[in-house]
């Protein structure tokens, strides 16, 4: 069975601070995908990144960066120089590498960025 | 890019009535769609997997007679909450997978149901 653990529930930072959101996953599959989604107060899910299990390269996209470590089964997300608009709930998710596999979500981390 | 659209985005109904939520893939064909439910300040919980032309696969604990799912075409799946009760009030989100299994899912905007 797959499982995603986001141990942090709420994080509050001051604007311009860096913040790291942790994600630890469990799966028995060798092929799987990891995702991060942002859910602003409006409710829609905004796709941030997808990483397959064979690609351990870290990725940077603007102020966002992701650190994928298979050895620790972690896929952490860092926001540098945080902004108020980053305030949202962030979900880490996992899916197996099969055709109709479902997405398993973590419980989400509520990030509040104060001006 | 690919877009998944849900309708209605919000609905209020009386207890005992049925409500239908539509999920459409606008510019791609989706053989598989997923329906999630999210209670306030909680995570998304998968309710069922909807496959075009066949019966939906429901997760444990989800009543298939209460949450009717129909995936009649490659671009449309519907979720009908039958005889809705206040405890069914929730945020329902659908997602669609491209025909070629890439692992990438696209999410609808969500539908907020309030049952009075």
* Cβ-contact B49, B56 below 8 angstroms: yes
Positive or negative, the CA dihedral B92, A3, A34, A65 is positive
C-alpha B56 chain-centroid distance: 11
Mean pLDDT (whole number) for A22-28: 96
B50 touches chain A (CB under 8 A): no
Cβ <8 Å between A100 and B32: yes
Mean pLDDT (whole number) for B9-19: 96
Q: How confident is the model at residue A44 (pLDDT cuts 50, 70, 90)?
A: confident
The per-residue pLDDT for A14 is 97
| pLDDT tens-digit series, residues A78-91 | 999 999 999 999 99
pLDDT at B2 over 70: no
B109 touches chain A (CB under 8 A): yes
**C-alpha torsion angle, residues B84, B88, B93, B95 (rounded to 10):** -70
CA distance B82 to chain A (A): 24
Taking the C-alpha atoms of residue A91 and residue A79, their distance in angstroms, rounded to an integer, is 14
Q: Which residue has the tokens 């089964």?
A: A73
Chain A contacts to B (CB-CB under 8 A):
33, 35, 37, 43-45, 47, 50, 52, 91, 95, 97-108, 110
pLDDT at A59 over 80: yes
CB-based contacts of B46, cutoff 8 Å, min separation 6: A102, A103, A104, B34, B35, B36, B59
| pLDDT tens-digit series, residues B36-88 | 999 988 899 999 998 888 889 999 999 999 999 998 888 999 999 999 999 99
Question: Roughly how many angstroms between the first and final C-alpha of chain A, as a whole number?
Answer: 41
CA separation (Å) from A62 to A22, A66, A82, A94, B26? 19, 11, 11, 23, 29
Taking the C-alpha atoms of residue B55 and residue B101, their distance in angstroms, rounded to an integer, is 20
Cβ <8 Å between A107 and B42: yes
């Amino acid at each position: 069975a797959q499982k995603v653990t986001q141990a942090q529930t709420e994080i509050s930072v001051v604007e311009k601070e860096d913040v790291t959101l942790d994600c630890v996953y469990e799966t028995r599959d060798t092929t799987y995908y990891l995702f991060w989604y942002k859910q602003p107060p409006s409710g829609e899910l905004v796709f941030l990144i997808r990483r397959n299990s064979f690609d351990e390269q870290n990725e940077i996209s603007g102020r966002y960066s992701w650190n994928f470590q298979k050895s620790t089964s972690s896929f952490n997300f860092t926001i540098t120089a945080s902004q108020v608009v980053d305030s949202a709930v962030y979900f880490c998710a996992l899916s197996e590498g099969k055709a109709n596999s479902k997405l398993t979500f973590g419980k989400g981390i509520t990030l509040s960025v104060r001006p | 890019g690919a877009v998944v659209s849900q309708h209605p985005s919000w609905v209020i109904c009386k207890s005992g009535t049925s409500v239908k939520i539509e999920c459409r893939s606008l510019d791609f064909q989706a053989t598989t769609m997923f329906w999630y439910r999210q209670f306030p300040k909680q995570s998304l919980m998968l309710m069922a997997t909807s496959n075009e032309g066949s019966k939906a696969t429901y997760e444990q604990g989800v009543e298939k007679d209460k949450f009717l799912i129909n995936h009649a075409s490659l671009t449309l799946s519907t979720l009908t909450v039958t005889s809705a009760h206040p405890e069914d009030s929730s945020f329902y989100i659908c997602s669609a997978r491209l025909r070629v299994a890439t692992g990438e899912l696209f999410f609808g905007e969500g539908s907020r149901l309030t049952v009075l």
